[in-house]
Amino acid sequence: MVELPDIQNTKPNIQIPIRQVGVENVEVPFLLEARGDHSFYSLVANVSMRTNIGFDVKGVSMSRFIGTLKEYLGKPLKQKLIYDILLKMKNNMKTRDAYMKFDFKLPKMRKSPESPNEFPLYYKCSFEGQLLTSLAGPVFKFYQGVRVQYASYCPCSSELCNHLNECGSSGFPHAQRSFANVIVATKEPDYIWLEDIIDVVESSIATLPYPIIKRVDERKIAEIASQNPIFFTNQS
């Protein structure tokens, strides 16, 4: 068999290290354990994978990133599995550091506030892992992220409408669509369910979205909003 040339194994003419290089938006099927009943969601994630390149390396084979995932397809995703993938990727690429992130949507049933209707809402979630080399040895960092939508019923607008009513006129207060982005760092053996993070956020915000709304629900939503005004914030 004729040996094919491999320019990647030659030394670079310009020796400059690259902090991160890799692939992104790779669709990957995986399983995620559901809270409570030990069942599993069958989901698809958009995955990004990155490593560093040393000054004496000319490049990396992008296929190696995808090839690293092959033996982990269909396995339950958790922080230990992400650590294993990062370690293998780091060894395959012969690099100091490795990074990966899974972006996916987690379904969670939402009941209407008054009527008996239920329908799933999909929450944007993420698992992110970093395997870094330090003087003390390898350091693994793991982050879980969720994005929760809610409505911010404006207290300023509500107060102005009350003033209009006192002046013999009328007005309607407004609400804005808002999102709470939460990132939690966890370390084994500790683990936080994504559903628990969502519940913590939603338990502090009364004005939530509902997929199915009947008239009794509309009335209840209006009542909840009037009792729970909240300013829209844009913070990072």
* pLDDT value of position 37: 79
**What pLDDT score does 233 carry?**
59
State which residues of the chain have pLDDT below 50: 236
What's 67's domain CATH number? 3.10.270.10
Q: Does the residue 191 lie in any domain?
A: yes
Residue 54: per-residue pLDDT: 78
Establish if 232 belongs to a structural domain: no
Query: Residue 100: which of 76, 66, 75 has the closest Cα?
Result: 66
In terms of pTM, does the model score above 0.85?
A: no
Query: Looking at the 3D structure of the chain, how many domains does it have?
Result: 1
Q: Exposed e or buried b for every residue in 118-157, given b needs 16+ CB within 10 A?
A: eeebebebbbbbbbbeeeeeeebebebbbebbbbbbbeeb
Strands laid side by side in the 40-53 sheet: 18-33, 40-53, 98-111, 118-134, 137-153, 175-186
Which residue segment(s) compose the domain that 32 sits in? 14-227
Length of the chain: 236
Q: Residue 169 class from Cβ within 10 Å (0-12 exposed, 13-18 middle, 19+ buried)?
A: exposed
Q: Is position 68 within any domain?
A: yes
pLDDT at 236: 45
Q: What is the pLDDT of residue 14?
A: 75
